[in-house]
Amino acid sequence: MVLLRTVSTPFHARVIQARLGADGIVAHLRGNVDGPYPFGASTVWVTRGDAERAAELLLADEVESAFADVPEEEPLASGSRVDVRRLVAAAGVALVVLGALAAHLGV
């Protein structure tokens, strides 16, 4: 058996074990797994023959989840309230800046 990953909670270890089991990889958990308090580090162990495939699966899942959390940007419809608010805010800032500039120049 080789150490695949050390995680901070038994829950995380069990999630990894279930994920690997879904692909036919048997994982064993050690550390604080069956204790009365769900705190502390737990380790995930796999056979030497499954170690590379297991690491690739977990890496692929991490990359996929990183991209899944990024919301797709949608273009704003013209005339929407967000566009009008931004336009009004920009115009207000421009007027303040122009007023300060005119006062500074004595115009």
How far is residue 82 from each of residues 24, 46, 53, 70, 95, measured CA to CA in Å? 50, 52, 48, 21, 20
Of the CA atoms within 13 Å of residue 50, those in its CB half-sphere come to 20
- Per-residue pLDDT tens over the stretch 39-63: 789 999 999 999 999 999 999 888 8
- 26 pLDDT band (50/70/90 cuts)? very high
CATH number for the domain whose boundaries are 2-68: 3.30.70.1530
Looking at residues 11-40, what average pLDDT do you find? 89
What percent of the chain is modeled with pLDDT above 90?
A: 40
| Per-domain residue ranges of the chain | 2-68, 76-107
CB burial of 90-105 (b: ≥16 within 10 Å; e: otherwise) equals eeeeeeeeeeeeeeee
pTM over 0.85: no
